[in-house]
Amino acid sequence: MNNITRDQIEFLVELQQMETAAAKVQSQLDELPEKLKQIESGLKEIEEAINIDKENLAELKKAYRAFDAEIQVNQGRIKKREEQLHAATTNKEYQAILKEISEIKKASSRIEDETLACLDNIDAAETAIREKEEAYEAEAVEVSEKKSVFEAAAETERRSLNEVLAQRDEISSKIDSELMKQYEVIKSYSRGIGIVQVIDSICLGCHMNIPPQMYNELHRENEMKTCPHCHRMLYVIK
């Protein structure tokens, strides 16, 4: 492979370190939207619970109005029967109307019990909603604080990423363009790692042994060698 100088190898190694560091920061930044979503998930849960409670409350109020209407109707019926009672001409008719009135009153009494139970349920539902709304407010304050912390951390990460990228550009300008091209190609099919260290004949890219002769030649640092297994560029630290 092409003859190179020790400097060029060092620049490439440094470039690789910069790019690995940049990728790490970038992956942390990429996680930010998901982290923010997780922070907000508690709020969403409370919001959904409040909506369910509000639907429940609306149903209870609807039932209450229906009971109330039924009571009104029954009161009208009783009033009408009482008028009929005055106009009754026979005892039989009188007794029949009385019986009817008693039955309507019984039914009304049942409905009134149900109305009272319904009012209790309305009270309970309103309390539950108020409590959840308070919990929501408290959670919202906490979420906003947590988000600020995350966003500030992300801003620091962005700045450090920009610094690393600037350093990366500076180093890459010192690298021979052919060598750079080769490095980019290798990187593209080697999960972003183009150059790796060899320690005791073992390539740290794939953890396989390289041939003894190649290992010896690597120490001359005058030629770019690539791993026979993972095809990454190799270097040794002497």
Q: Given the rule CB under 5 A, which residues bind Zn ion?
A: 203, 205-206, 227, 229-230
Residue closer to Zn ion by CB (options 180, 203) is 203
Residue closer to Zn ion by CB (options 35, 231) is 231
Residue closer to Zn ion by CB (options 171, 203) is 203
Q: How far is the CB of 200 from Zn ion (least distance, A)?
A: 14
Residue closer to Zn ion by CB (options 46, 227) is 227
Beta-bridge partner residues of 209: 202
Q: Give strand ranges (E) for the chain.
A: 195-199, 202-203, 225-226, 233-235
Q: How far is the CB of 166 from Zn ion (least distance, A)?
A: 30
Supply angle C-alpha 212, 214, 217, rounded to 5. 110
Q: How far is the CB of 192 from Zn ion (least distance, A)?
A: 15
Distance, CA of 6 to chain centre: 48
Q: How far is the CB of 216 from Zn ion (least distance, A)?
A: 17
Closest by CA position to 164, among listed 20, 10, 31, 13:
20
Token couple for 110: 């049942």
